[in-house]
Copies of this chain bind each other. A is one copy, B any other.
Amino acid sequence: MHFLNEATLDGVTERSFVLDNVPGILWTPAGDHERRPLVLLGHGGGQHKKAPAMTGRARRMTALGFAAVALDAPGHGDRRDPSADVTGLRRPTPDEFAQANADRAKSAVPEWRATLDALRDHGHGLEKIGFVGVAMGASIGIPLAAEEPRITAAVFGLAPPHPSLTEAAKRITIPIKYLMQWDDELIPRESSLALFDAFASTEKTLHANPGSHAAVPSHERDSDDHFLQRHLA
């Protein structure tokens, strides 16, 4: 893990790093090297490690006293293949998108696990570890949480349905918050209810709100914070 540069703004220290060609960002409360809970942030499809949803979430995590880390997912951010960016290409169908996410997860899961090892060697991630990711973030986070026992609580949601997710959910026993949009134009309602049902966790909570895929209400971010505080602090 090579740390590239470090900047501190408004009480948050942001460090960029590269590990085996995977670029990432580590956020911590400024000037503080205490051991603290660590939250892994999985970005959505087409997004990247420094998208506004990621930096906003990282700021909330440091305000809770947590460290946060994001990686560019395969094919995203600094890992995007410019030659693949052909405008005019048709959008993938939901099934193609779910399959592409499942394929990405096969690379992304070991990348996240290697990141946890490397951060541990730098003194991070020795306390409780959580994961937050919806849509593609959940497509990667659910198989990750099934494999990685260091993750002890997770916020997932809006995952495009894929058989591999149901199988992974059945192996997950940690506390889960699952977010769904009641009128999601991309994810069938029944598939979200079935995925929530599949988690083996005895402590899991489903939150559903009206509106489209992208219309998750802002009060859910407060609720995510309460969930993470309850399980990681």
B230 near A219 with CB under 8 A, answer yes
| Chain A residues numbered 174-233 whose CB sits less than 8 Å from any CB in chain B | 182, 193, 196-197, 201-210, 217, 219, 222-223, 226, 230
- Which residues of the other chain, B, contact A193 by a CB distance below 8 angstroms? 193
Q: Is the interface of A mostly helix, strand, loop or mixed?
A: mixed
Q: Residue A209 contacts which of B205, B208, B222 (CB distance < 8 angstroms)? A: B205
B210 near A208 with CB under 8 A, answer no
A230 to B217 Cα, complex, angstroms: 13
- Whether A210 touches B217, Cβ cut-off 8 Å, given contacts A182-B197, A193-B193, A223-B223, is no
20 pairs, A vs B, C-beta closer than 8 Å: A182-B196, A182-B197, A182-B206, A193-B193, A201-B210, A202-B210, A203-B210, A204-B210, A205-B207, A205-B209, A205-B217, A206-B206, A206-B207, A206-B209, A207-B207, A208-B208, A219-B226, A222-B226, A223-B223, A223-B226
Which residues of A come within 8 Å of B, CB atoms?
A: 182, 193, 196-197, 201-210, 217, 219, 222-223, 226, 230
Extra 20 A-B pairs, beta carbons < 8 Å, given A182-B206, A205-B208, A222-B226:
A182-B196, A196-B208, A201-B210, A202-B210, A203-B210, A203-B217, A204-B209, A204-B210, A205-B207, A205-B209, A205-B217, A205-B219, A206-B206, A206-B207, A206-B208, A206-B209, A207-B207, A219-B226, A219-B230, A223-B223
